[in-house]
Amino acid sequence: MKRISVLFLLVFLSISCKNNGPHSYTKTGKALGTTYQIKYFSSENLNTEKALDSIFEVINTSMSTYQDDSDISRINTGNEDIEVDIHFQKVFQLSKQIFKESNGYFDPTVGSLVNAYGFGPDKPLNEPDEAVLDSIKQLVGFEKVKLTEANTIQKENPDIYIDFNAIAKGYTIDVIAQYLDSKNVENYLIELGGELVAKGENLERESNWNVAIDNPQQTEDERTLQTVLALKNRAMATSGNYRKFRVDTTTGKRFVHTINPLTGEAEKSDLLSASVLAENCTLADAYATAFMALGYEKSLKMLENLENIDVYFIYADDEESIRVFTSTGFEQALR
């Protein structure tokens, strides 16, 4: 699933807001396989580079599936003696919560199915035969994985593969936010790979932080905006793969493929993009992924049972028109 970029709508200026007030600082770079941008206001230069490097290193060591010696990689190869750190524990427990809330559609063990179908932006969908699917389905199901009292991970099958990529970026942003909070920074915007947290205000403009969501009908060669929000003290994540939708050769309808972890089958989904506002970015990141797996109608049902979660859904209706559903809280944030 392609993660949709969210744009900063601000100019990075190294100027003072007021002669004796806090100055603006901007940090940019690459981490966790993507890019990040951080803008904050402080009366002193916090020299955040060292702190950021430390945060990224700790998260990678704990949960990076791209790092062979990380805790999660060693667990995925069958090691049951790894005592996971507090970051892994928090992400695991929250993943369990959303796994239950979504009736199993948010599932960090679904990677084996994703690989079997050959999901990719430019690849035809592979169709595993029934025997292969039956075998792989034994490796899917987050209920088959447990966090023990000793903070080790037990799996019913040693070949179960755990992947927290659908939640780890949001969690990392929250850790960075906690660091800035600890330094008494009251106004900042943190963006990592399209997920973000906005706290306080953009003091240069004396307004809430402005961010935007991509237009789903843009081409690969253009960059246009779907909508703009003014955020304060909220996190946002957007998930979708509408740029790589498929067209049914029989009906001509637009759809995207998503995997149903419960059946192991690739299903057609009319939900093209899900943007989520939440109190923290870990929740926003995970719910955005869950909604994409659920599809439009099931997402609306799940939303009825969630508190302090607001959404902006882009979907294709039965007449193949692009439609938008906006919750009340999200509507209030729109400019």
Q: Where are the alpha helices (DSSP H) in the chain?
A: 49-63, 71-76, 86-101, 111-117, 130-137, 165-182, 281-294, 296-303, 328-333
CB-CB contact of 100 with 242 (8 Å) = no
166 is in an annotated binding site: yes
User: Distance between CA 35 and CA 41 in Å, rounded?
Assistant: 21
Contacts of 198 (CB under 8 A, 6+ apart): 188, 189, 208, 209, 211, 231, 232, 233, 234, 235, 236
CB-CB contact of 106 with 99 (8 Å) = yes
CB-CB contact of 255 with 270 (8 Å) = yes
For 217, phi and psi rounded to 5 degrees? -100, 10
User: Distance between CA 47 and CA 104 in Å, rounded?
Assistant: 42
Tokens matching residue 32: 């966790």
User: Distance between CA 50 and CA 259 in Å, rounded?
Assistant: 40
**Angle made by CA atoms 298, 304, 309, in degrees to the nearest 5:** 100
289 is in an annotated binding site: yes
b/e burial code for range 156-181 (CB count within 10 A of at least 16 → b): eeeebbbbbbbbbbbbbbbbbbebbe
* Residues that constitute the known binding site: 166, 285, 289
* Residues that constitute the known binding site for Mg(2+): 166, 285, 289
